[in-house]
Amino acid sequence: MPKKETLRSFCSLCDQTSEMEVVGLDKEIGLIWVRCPGCNGIFPPHPESTTAKNKDKSKKEGYR
């Protein structure tokens, strides 16, 4: 069985970044679709949000 292709992407529903399985490709417009392992949502991948980065920074600095 071939290894599944994954991409690191942010899920706004789960509010976390994780490795997501590539589940489709729209060849007409070159759009990739990934599945979130947390909520099983399917969407185009996108980088970690600024909000999530700020939350992580706040945790490290001791803020709430």
SS3 (DSSP) at 7: strand
- Convert the pLDDT of each residue in 1-31 to its tens digit: 678 899 999 999 999 999 999 999 988 988 9
Q: What mean pLDDT comes out for the span 24-51? A: 87
- Which whole number is the average pLDDT over 36-62? 71
Over 60: is that where the pLDDT of 63 sits?
no
Q: Give the three-class secondary structure for 61.
A: helix
For residue 37, name the pLDDT band (cuts at 50, 70, 90). very high
Dig out the tokens for 11 from the structure. Answer: 């899920």
Question: Hey, where are the domains in the chain?
Answer: 6-61
What's the order of all strands across the beta sheet hosting 6-11?
A: 6-11, 16-26, 31-35, 42-43
- Position 55 pLDDT exceeds 90: no
Cβ pair 46, 8 in contact under 8 A:
no
